[in-house]
Structure 1
Amino acid sequence: MAGPDADGMTSLAYHEAGHAVVAAWLGAEVLFVTLEPDPDDGPRRDGDAAIRWHHRGSTPQELALRELMAVLAGPVCEMIHEGVERPLDRWSPWAADWQLAVELADRLVPSPGRIERLIETTVWQLRALAERQAFWQVIAEVADLLEAHQSIEGESVHESLGRWLGD
């Protein structure tokens, strides 16, 4: 099966950078990010960000909210980069992100109407965050690294975050 074309690869790089940068910003440890995941490692997908969440000092609700933000950050950053709007729940490349977002939101507000409102609010907050110049610079730098190398260690994400936003 063929992978994404050059434009698709750039969009995928912004998508994966979004997941990784937001997770790191929220205190997670990013282990690696890749545009070429191992085909034997779970369901078919175009990219992957391996993220370790530390539970110390966080309630289950706080952790679920952080994870929700990181999950939705991929599609949000991809949309910002492409300058388009897409329905998160009906764009097939984002099906896994959408499913995980619904599961995480259900832990926080177990009611269908409230789940969608929480996801919409979180997307709005992520857009506001990503559109801040310094934050977008981190996303762009990580996306550029991914395009250049296909895979990067999490340390590169954390270094970019520190360089643009401080420790």
Structure 2
Amino acid sequence: MHDDETLTAYHEAGHAVVGYVLGGEIESVGLYGEADDWLPERFGDCHVNWGRVDAGCDWQVQREVLTILAGPVAEMIYRGEKLHPATFAPWQHDWAWAWQRSESLIPDPRRRTRLLEAIVVWLHHHLSDDLCWAAIAAVSDELLAHEYLDAEQLAETLSFWIRT
């Protein structure tokens, strides 16, 4: 049985590693996210700053959707279970957020579902890569030790594993 804190650490590490690789500055990642204007109270939180971008640009939407779904996929890999983010309660918010964010790319609901499911499969393949998984595990370990990492701490942890 996996404890909630460890599952959350892997989930947030997935968001952080993919966001970092895709060029975002991870301002912070932590366990125990507080409720705010955008999100309910949650087990963890990852703040990505994409810089000055056009939020409607296809590439920006793609980066965000990949980063959003990376959390559930990293947790899925850690659990050793292939669960669907739309139907597994702890991940439904991530799925709904990716669903809403990707509407501009694919307005048709069936095609959008297929796209998001294909992204989950793609992420599962790539996050399972030894080097990528080592980076996720390193961030998770740091989160479990400190509960919160700022941009500098995260960059220090990831610089060993990922060259940007």
> In the aligned structure 2, how far is the partner of 1:128 from the partner of 1:86?
15
Cross-structure match for 2:101 = 104
Q: Is the 8 A contact 2:26 2:154 kept in 1?
A: yes
Secondary structure at the counterpart of residue 112 of structure 2: helix
Cross-structure match for 1:38 = 34
Pairing of 1:12-23 with structure 2 (within 5 A) = 12-23=8-19
Pairing of 1:1-167 with structure 2 (within 5 A) = 7-39=3-35, 42-56=39-53, 60-167=57-164
Structure 2 gap ranges (5+): none
Number of aligned positions between the proteins:
163
> In the aligned structure 1, how far is the partner of 2:33 from the partner of 2:117?
29
Secondary structure at the counterpart of residue 160 of structure 2: helix
How far residue 160 of structure 1 moved from its aligned partner, in angstroms, is 2.7
Secondary structure at the counterpart of residue 46 of structure 1: strand
TM-score, normalised by the number of residues in structure 2 = 0.91
TM-score, normalised by the number of residues in structure 1 = 0.90
How far residue 6 of structure 1 moved from its aligned partner, in angstroms, is 6.8
How far residue 89 of structure 1 moved from its aligned partner, in angstroms, is 0.6
> In the aligned structure 1, how far is the partner of 2:36 from the partner of 2:55?
33
Q: State the 4+ residue runs in structure 1 displaced beyond 6 angstroms.
A: none
How far residue 54 of structure 1 moved from its aligned partner, in angstroms, is 2.2
The one-letter amino acid paired with 1:125 is: W
> In the aligned structure 1, how far is the partner of 2:141 from the partner of 2:80?
18
Q: Is the 8 A contact 1:34 1:151 kept in 2?
A: yes
> In the aligned structure 2, how far is the partner of 1:104 from the partner of 1:65?
9
Secondary structure at the counterpart of residue 85 of structure 1: coil
The one-letter amino acid paired with 1:81 is: Y
Considering only aligned residues, what root-mean-square deviation do their CA atoms show, in Å?
A: 2.0
Change in CA separation of 1:39 and 1:61 when aligned onto 2, cut-off 3 Å: closer
Q: Is the 8 A contact 1:35 1:151 kept in 2?
A: yes
Secondary structure at the counterpart of residue 32 of structure 2: coil
Which range is displaced more, 136-145 or 105-114?
105-114
Structure 1 gap ranges (5+): none
> In the aligned structure 2, how far is the partner of 1:127 from the partner of 1:87?
12
> In the aligned structure 2, how far is the partner of 1:152 from the partner of 1:161?
12
